[in-house]
Structure 1
Amino acid sequence: MTMRRILRRGHPALLAALLATSLTLPAMAETAAAKPAAQADAAKTLSPTEQAAEKKVEEKAGEIDNFTLANGLQVVVIPDHRAPIVTHMIWYKVGAADEKPGVSGIAHFLEHLMFKGTKKHPEGEFSRAVSDIGGQENAFTTQDYTAYFQQVAADHLEEMMRFEADRMENLILTDAQILPERQVIIEERRMRIDNNPQAQLSESVDATLFANSPYGIPVIGWRSEMEKLSRDDAIAFYDKYYTPNNATLIVAGDVTTDEVKRLAEETYGKVPRRADPGARVRPQEPEPLAARTVTLKDDQVTQPSLQRTYLVPSDTTAKGHESEALDILADILGGGTTSRFYRSLVVEQGIAAGAGAYYAGTALNDGQFMVYGMPRGSATIAEIEAAIDAEIAKVVNDGITPDELERAKNRVRKAVIFERDNQAAMARRYGAALSTGRSIEDVEKWPERIEAVTVDEVNAVARKYLEAKRSVTGYLEPTHPSSAPAAEGAMPPAPPPAVSQSQS
């Protein structure tokens, strides 16, 4: 079958569809274990249709459960009995930010190599097995984790577990496999980064914002280092990190805990535990002292754009309700057609083809808050930047309103329904959280924390974190400015794609 490989650059706050619509994750979402009080509050502002949909999900969903095998593998079970389908995901707590200096890209490279076969199953057999039963598969690498999954009929869960457990232990790599696949990832970089001015700018902005942190190194790697990646590099990375005591198994769908536990013990339970990889200690960014800028001019650029990224706490490093408040702040500033940026820049002033904001908070270390805009017609980047600065100043100086807070929370409540209606999205939320230093309880109590956010807390994070000195602003400009206006409703150039896909 044709297998889609995924390279994620950046953090998982914005997620593209991974399996058509089967793995779409709203920017802010709730878990199936939401407390009744939070559900009652949500019902106050949901339409009858939305309430009916929520009730239908609840009727078919069971209690989320978890256990740990003797070899250290953590297992999470998310029952959903609406259809005889399961999503089977194995998450390794290792990503690009865990790479040693000089081997950037090895985490993503190993993701590719995991499809090269084992002692029991030659290259392609696993993928053919998934295809033959009408299933879907994928894999993705981020700064903080690497994950592999299949979505199949429930009666094929055991088969998927056996295949995945086998390659956790028995991967075979030869130079004959390594060298051609290395060229594949180098070509992937050429297509996705080197020939894409927007991606080049985003890469430069990240490297400037995270000058000390490994988050400043692209997931795909620097080309000069990718060209030297070897079989020894891949095997060392595999042996250190691809062990059950550094992994989480998520099974969502038409299953029971007893069934998953039996199958997990029969398959993954036989994989020996290796030495613990050790604490994930990484260099951190010092407190920023000055605003920074990056300008990229390229002949391929036909319309200028602006993206600005602020260094902010992540879900893991934030204190109190800071991360939830940043989520809500992003929604109020630039979360859609009712946001402040859109109303002001696109509708009222008519100077922007698109403008928005988002919070990338799913990370082990500090994350990012981004704002962006693309000028329309004769408007300039300078006008876009001035208008964005003006809206940020209004929030910092005057704060948000109670009505804005309630509308943002209501959008979250609605997003909750869509996520809970998607077993793969639920699996992804738990997997990402557990791979970035959070717990099942953290995920389950997320809706309560969102409901508890106050106007004062949103205003506080705006004042504290939307400071110029915490930011890097990137300008993308044509080498030879064109008079051609940006199309009405044009797709804004930022944020950069949260997920990049390639056929291989």
Structure 2
Amino acid sequence: MLSNLLRISFVFILFTQISWATGAEPADTHEYQLSNGLKLIVREDHRAPTVAHMVWYRAGSMDEVNGKTGVAHVLEHMMFKGTHKVKSGEFSRLVAAVGGRENAFTSRDYTAYFQQVEKSKLENVIKLEADRMSNLNFDDAEFFKEIQVVMEERRLRTEDNPSSLLNESLMATAYMSSPYRHPVIGWMNDLQNMKPVDARDWYRSWYAPNNATVVVAGDVDAKQILALVEKYYGVATAHELPVRKPQIEPPQKGVKQVQVKAPADNAQLAMAWKAPRLEPGKLDDVEPYALELLTAVLDGYDNARLNRSLVKQQKVVNDVGVGYDMISRGPELFLIGATMAKGKTVDQAQGSIRKALEEVKQKGILESELKRIKVRILSDQIYKRDSIFGQAMEIGSTEMAGFSWKDINYMLEKMQTITPEQVQAVAKKYLVDEGLTIAILDPQARKSAGKEGK
């Protein structure tokens, strides 16, 4: 169930744990700033003749306004609909023609586009991506066709998925003013009423070199990449970006609860507590690191506390998961979610979760337990050294959260200094009812095929 609640930043942060552990500095990483404001980061890794090329725009669903939710994701779709030079649908074909793979993704905090190719084909994809940064050109017919695709995507991934519906209601209940309360894919009514001009306005507002970071990782020479990026991206014109409103989330004053009725086989429970995130310029703030390690104490391995207690011993739930994002642009939640076992109730599961949390609060955790978690985190991430794409993802996601790739090793070093007492302290401070939101999925019988309408 928690696949929809868990997010990716911690995975990427952990990716470079091995370089920190060996004392290696990222001397093979180079950063440049073009005159038009574009940031370029090049990570040289010469172990295989492949390259990952990514463009990150610091514009996600949190930058949307009411009535236009989902427009960031819609524009991601429209970016494949052609420019003055490249016809609709040709972008993907041209990347495939040089043996590459490509895609894009939208989050609350950013939108990113990537290609992974053999190194001699890198210029081809840089040229294509730089072209659509400035020259996107789609007609109304293309838009209205694609908005139907997006609405169908919402139906399949959210409206027909009880876990997604629960997560959507949880976020909309937990947050009052933060745009994090809106789903990335948008509300259906907003999609139904979206116009081509909405997507074009979003493109003109946010897709500018001074709001973008290009990340290139792989078997490359940084100086040569800089020359290519200046040649193709350097012609893009910077412009003033819209003013970003802070939209600070007001303090929560007590338990919130929401119930969702949807066709499902089992009841589900999601519990979310307001929690602090790591903020740029405050890398020594202990609490976010301690919260991150608390997730591992509860759910970081097969025999972690919640899985051992709720799944294996009590058999009250079929699965349980914990999520927390240490770095992000907006306010954060510490999440626990579970799917009930047959014959078990949500109240039983919630009671078991609360008991497990109370044990951490009152008795703390052992130094040996925390040490094992730190070692496990390190060993689990070693194999990812070979992922060119993973390195580019780590750099880009860190930059979009307002940090520098140069901060990553320090974050990892700081994580290793956290004590059991600090983990216990954040559990006591933040996993309390005052900041808790509870979402419950009440499973409804599924309609049989013979009783479906026309």
TM bin, normalised by shorter chain, reads over 0.9
Compared with structure 1, are the counterparts of its residues 9 and 218 closer, same or farther at alpha carbon in structure 2 (3 Å cutoff)? farther
Aligned runs of 1:244-259 on 2, under 5 Å? 244-259=209-224
1:39 aligns with 2:19: no
The question of whether the paired residues in 2 share the 8 Å contact of 1:32 and 1:64 is answered with no
Where 1:269 maps in the other structure, the secondary structure is: coil
**Corresponding position of 1:294:** 258
Residue 26 of structure 1 pairs with residue 11 of structure 2: yes
1:217 aligns with 2:212: no
CA distance in 1, matches of 2:352, 2:106: 36
Relative distance call for 1:10 and 1:217 in structure 2 (3 A) is farther
TM-score, structure 2 normalization: 0.92
* Structure 1 counterpart of 2:450: none
Q: How does 1:193-272 map to 2 (within 5 A)?
A: 193-272=158-237
Structure 1 distance, partners of 2:288, 2:424, is 13
Pairing partner for 2:47 from 82, 85, 90: 82
**Quick check: 1:285 aligned with 2:249?**
yes
- Structure 1 equivalent of residue 87 of structure 2: 122
Output the amino acid matched with 1:479. Answer: Q
Equivalent residue in structure 2 for 1:349, among 314, 331, 336 = 314
- CA deviation profile, 1:196-231 (whole Å, cap 9, x unmatched): 222111100000011211000111111111111112
Change in 2 beyond 3 A, CA 1:239/1:67:
same
- Corresponding pairs, count: 442
Q: Secondary structure at the match of 1:219?
A: coil
Residues 1:305 and 2:268 are matched in the alignment: yes
Map Cα deviations across residues 462-489 of structure 1 (whole Å, 9 max, x no partner). 11111122121111122359xxxxxxxx
Say whether residues 1:374 and 2:304 are aligned partners. Answer: no
Shift of 1:273: 1.4
Q: After superposing the two structures, state which structure 1 stretch, 147-156 or 462-471, moved more.
A: 462-471
Correspondence for 1:192: 157
Q: Measure how far apart 1:235 and its partner are.
A: 1.3
Letter in 1 for 2:278: D
Q: 1:403 aligns with which of 368, 373, 378?
A: 368
3-state secondary structure, aligned to 2:11 = coil
Deviation digits for residues 348-392 of structure 1 (CA, Å, limit 9, x no counterpart) = 223222122121233102212111222324322221111111001
Q: CA deviation at 1:34?
A: 3.9
Q: Provide structure 2 residue ranges, at least 5 long, that are not aligned to the other structure.
A: 447-454
Aligned to 1:22: none
Aligned partner (choices 171, 182, 206) of residue 147 of structure 2? 182
Asked if 1 retains the 8 angstrom alpha-carbon contact of 2:169 and 2:260, the reply is: no
| 1:49 corresponding residue in structure 2 | none
Cα 1:194–1:32, aligned 2, differ >3 Å: closer, same or farther? Answer: closer
Instruction: Please point out which of 139, 145, 150 is paired with 2:104.
Output: 139
| Equivalent-residue separation in structure 1 for 2:334 and 2:217 (angstroms) | 31
Contact 1:33 1:64 (C-alpha < 8 Å) held by counterparts: no
1:13 to 1:367, Cα distance in 2 relative to 1, 3 A: farther
Q: Aligned Cα RMSD in Å?
A: 2.2
Give how far 1:297 is off. 2.2
> Is the CA contact 1:11–1:361 (under 8 Å) kept in the aligned structure 2?
no
1:314 is matched with 277
Confirm or deny: 8 A CA contact 2:4 2:164 kept in the other structure: no
Aligned-pair CA distance for 1:259:
1.4
| Unaligned stretches of 5+ residues in structure 1 | 1-7, 15-24, 41-57, 482-504
Q: Give the letter aligned to residue 63 of structure 2.
A: D
Counterparts of 1:181 and 1:282, CA distance in 2 = 32
CA distance in 1, matches of 2:424, 2:200: 49
In 1, the alpha carbon distance for the partners of 2:385 and 2:79 equals 30
Counterparts of 2:95 and 2:445, CA distance in 1: 49
How far apart are the structure 2 equivalents of 1:344 and 1:39?
36
CA distance in 1, matches of 2:379, 2:321: 20
Give yes or no for contact 1:154–1:255 (8 Å, CA) kept in 2. yes
Q: 2:384, 2:369 → 1: CA distance?
A: 23
How far off its partner does 1:10 sit?
Answer: 6.0
Determine what percentage of the aligned residue pairs are the same residue. Answer: 36
